[in-house]
């Protein structure tokens, strides 16, 4: 289902009052519709965790919905300092429930958070969305506290995240994401709901943590998938020959060496990484 028509609210006026223009450098595209904020916020079930971390809250519209839906504590990570006065006004109203960090999420140490059950939510800037997602996945591997994440991406990236094997969209991002989480596209957003409107559709993806029994080091899984999909059209015996011989693919890993990278499932890559790590 696509949401198409925005309802312009007081958030547009806030931009005007503070003389803020959307920054291309920061990849800023704003949503003004309270109904959309509520729909995104409800996916994270903010009342069911110790803390919600919102990356790039901007004008605070989604933050307000999180509070209204019962979030006990919210950490707002905002890189752009021109939004901090706006967010501080929100904090003044809900002082004990809101913390603000004027930092770049790519430089933030998510492992330093002390709460046990944390959920992440964000309308991610398209230009750094996969970098932030990768950082969150690595942090989760080292210190599993993020039991759910709700993140917005450009639709093409979202389709890659949720893709299944035997499909063209399936690749490294699919495997690394689905190693840690069950990933599902919750709904799409038409460019018209944003200001300024981007040139592509967006998708909201919900990540629910999978506490797998088999847990290879995520760095090894990243390396194996990098080699495999770096030569996507080659057979797996060719793309992985630098680290695993064809003979070992058959005998040790029980994998058909004539398969191509997209023919192996997420579970196949997890088992491959696990066995490789143990050898």
Say yes or no to pLDDT of 4 above 60. Answer: no
Percent of the chain beyond pLDDT 90? 82
- Per the listing, tokens 């547009």 go with 12
- pLDDT band at residue 5 under the 50/70/90 scheme: very low
265 conformational bin, left if phi > 0, alpha if psi -120 to 50, beta if neither: beta
* Cα–Cα dist 152/55, whole Å: 11
Say yes or no to pLDDT of 17 above 50. Answer: yes
Say yes or no to pLDDT of 71 above 50. Answer: yes
**Whether CATH 1.10.8.100 fits 218-278:** yes
Q: What is the DSSP string of 49-111?
A: SSEEEEE--TTSHHHHHHHHTT-S-EEEE---GGGHHHHHHHHHHSGGGEEEE-S-GGG--GG
Percent of the chain beyond pLDDT 70? 97
Residue from 80, 75, 28, 32 nearest 54 by CA: 75
Q: What's the DSSP call for residue 173?
A: H
Residue from 226, 229, 276 nearest 254 by CA: 276
Out of 17-21, 217-221, 224-228, which region has the weakest mean confidence (pLDDT)? 17-21
- pLDDT band at residue 9 under the 50/70/90 scheme: low
> Buried b / exposed e across 146-181, counting CB within 10 Å, b at 16+?
bbbbbbbbbbebbbbbbbebeeebbbbbbbbbbbbb
Question: For residue range 91-105, what is the model confidence (pLDDT) as tens digits?
Answer: 999 988 999 999 999
C-alpha distances (whole Å) from 79 to each of 106, 113, 181 are 10, 18, 27
Backbone torsions φ then ψ of 61, nearest 5 degrees: -65, -45
Please list the residues that pair with 195 across neighbouring strands.
30
- pLDDT band at residue 21 under the 50/70/90 scheme: confident
Same fold? 2-209, 218-278: no
- pLDDT band at residue 6 under the 50/70/90 scheme: very low
pLDDT confidence of residue 279? 81
Which residues lie below 8 Å from residue 212, measured CB to CB, with a gap of 6+? 179, 270
The helix/strand/coil state of 153 is: strand
Say yes or no to pLDDT of 129 above 80. Answer: yes
Superfamily of domain 2-209: Vaccinia Virus protein VP39 (3.40.50.150)
Say yes or no to pLDDT of 141 above 80. Answer: yes
What are the residue boundaries of the structural domains of the chain, listed by start? 2-209, 218-278
Cβ–Cβ under 8 Å, residues 145 and 120: no
The helix/strand/coil state of 256 is: coil
Question: Mean pLDDT in the chain?
Answer: 92
């Amino acid at each position: 289902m696509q949401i198409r028509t925005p309802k312009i609210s007081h958030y547009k006026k806030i931009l005007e009052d503070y003389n803020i223009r959307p920054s291309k450098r920061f990849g800023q595209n704003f949503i003004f519709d309270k109904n959309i904020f509520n729909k995104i916020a409800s996916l994270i079930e903010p009342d069911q965790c110790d803390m919600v971390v919102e990356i790039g809250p901007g004008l605070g519209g989604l933050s307000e919905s999180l509070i209204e839906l019962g979030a006990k504590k919210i950490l707002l990570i905002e890189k752009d300092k021109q939004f901090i006065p706006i967010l501080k006004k929100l904090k003044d109203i809900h002082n004990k429930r809101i913390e603000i960090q004027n930092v770049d999420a790519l430089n933030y140490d998510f492992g330093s958070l002390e709460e046990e059950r944390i959920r992440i939510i964000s309308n991610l800037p398209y230009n750094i969305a996969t970098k932030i997602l990768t950082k969150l996945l690595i942090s989760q591997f080292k210190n599993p506290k993020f039991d759910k994440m709700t993140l917005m991406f450009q639709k093409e990236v979202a389709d890659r995240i949720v893709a299944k094997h035997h499909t063209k969209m399936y690749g490294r991002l699919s495997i690394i994401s689905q190693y840690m989480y069950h990933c599902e596209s919750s709904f799409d957003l038409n460019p018209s709901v944003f200001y300024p409107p981007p040139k592509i559709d967006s998708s909201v993806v919900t990540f629910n943590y999978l506490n797998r029994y088999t847990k290879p080091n995520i760095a090894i899984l990243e390396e194996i998938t990098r080699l495999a999909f770096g030569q996507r059209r080659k057979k797996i015996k060719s793309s992985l020959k630098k680290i695993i011989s064809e003979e070992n693919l058959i005998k040790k890993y029980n994998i058909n060496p004539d398969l191509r990278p997209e023919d192996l499932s997420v579970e196949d890559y997890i088992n491959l990484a696990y066995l490789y790590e143990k050898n």
